Amino acid sequence: MAFVRSIFQNTGTTLEMIKWEHSVLTLPFGLTGAVLAARGIPNMHTSVWIIVALVAARSAAMAFNRLVDADIDAENPRTKIRAIPAGKLSKNFVFWFVVVASLALGFAAWELNPLAFYLSPIALGIVFFYSFTKRFTRWAHVLLGLAMGIAPAAAWIAVRGSFDPRILLLMGAVVFWGAGFDILYSCQDYEFDRGSDLYSIPKAFGIQNALIIARLFHVITVGLLVAMVVAFGLGKIAMAGVVLVALLLIYEHSLVKHDDLSRVNAAFFTMNGFISMGFLFFVAADLMLAR
């Protein structure tokens, strides 16, 4: 009861902790997997529980990350204002939030189908594991991409109750998309990472080379999206969506320079929000108009 009361008392802080507004980054790609599986819009029951599952998984992952990284965040000038190091939320509260969000994911998966339910702990394991990777590998960005990339595959399974290898193309596209923009975002912590025991691509290769790697990842993203459109037999509207993604990625990279990171947040949130939402719209329109 005390935990529920704490949630209502700290709603704004809790939503800020899990960056709820960033749901527009991964949720649309997850829903794209559902739309592909249904060859259109899934029924209401399936759609609602997919959204609940995706939001719950992301909320659990974000809260777990804040919990695990609390001491690191307290030392980083950019992140010391986050809820736990700033004393706005207790570690105990965040722990129970992770538990409740994880249970919500499990319940949503149960409402979908047996395979979704059986695989839900594996999905949680992947998104939780990411939080530790920056402690031992410079390629932690790719693990974050993987944590994001399971969303469309999970949504496909939620609709079909089975797996289709073709969805791996969309999953891979999301992996490299997420890894690429996380590299851009992590450039802000270059100086902090250099003086710590943490690992990142900017720290390993320098900011200028990190930006080149991020561009390469996004080229791979576009290539995988093209392959996905072909594999699923989609049409010109979906391909136009790929073109839109490519143009937005080009613009995103134009915002970030190795000697000017002042527009990283705009590149990270605004552009990638348009990318994920736009691609979902074009794929859904392609499938609906093809009927």
Q: pLDDT (tens digit, 9 = 90+) per residue, 127-182?
A: 999 999 999 999 999 999 999 999 999 999 999 999 999 999 999 999 999 999 99
Mean pLDDT confidence for 31-36:
97
For residue 47, the model assigns a pLDDT of 96
Any residues with CB less than 8 A from the CB of 225 and at least 6 apart, and which? Answer: 169, 170, 173, 241, 242, 245, 279
Indicate the pLDDT class of residue 266, thresholds 50, 70 and 90: low
Number of compact structural domains in the chain = 1
Spatial distance between the Cα atoms of 280 and 288, rounded to a whole number of angstroms: 12
Q: What domain range includes position 149?
A: 2-289
User: Under DSSP, is residue 114 helix (H, G, I), strand (E, B) or coil?
Assistant: helix
Spatial distance between the Cα atoms of 120 and 110, rounded to a whole number of angstroms: 9
Mean pLDDT confidence for 61-70:
94
Indicate the pLDDT class of residue 16, thresholds 50, 70 and 90: confident
Q: What percent of the chain has pLDDT over 70?
A: 95
The length of the chain, given as a count of residues: 291
Indicate the pLDDT class of residue 1, thresholds 50, 70 and 90: low
> What ranges in the chain are assigned the alpha helix state H?
2-9, 11-17, 23-38, 44-68, 70-75, 91-112, 114-133, 140-160, 167-186, 190-194, 201-205, 207-231, 236-254, 264-265, 272-289
- Please give the structure tokens belonging to residue 57: 């998984």
CATH number for the domain spanning 120: value is 1.10.357.140
**Whether the Cβ atoms of residue 43 and residue 98 lie closer than 8 Å to each other:** no
- Which residue type sits at 211? L
For residue 69, the model assigns a pLDDT of 94
Q: Any idea which of 22-31, 97-106, 115-124 has the lowest mean pLDDT?
A: 22-31
Any residues with CB less than 8 A from the CB of 280 and at least 6 apart, and which? Answer: 28, 29, 31, 32, 35
Phi, psi values for residue 252, rounded to 5°: -55, -45
Mean pLDDT confidence for 27-31:
94
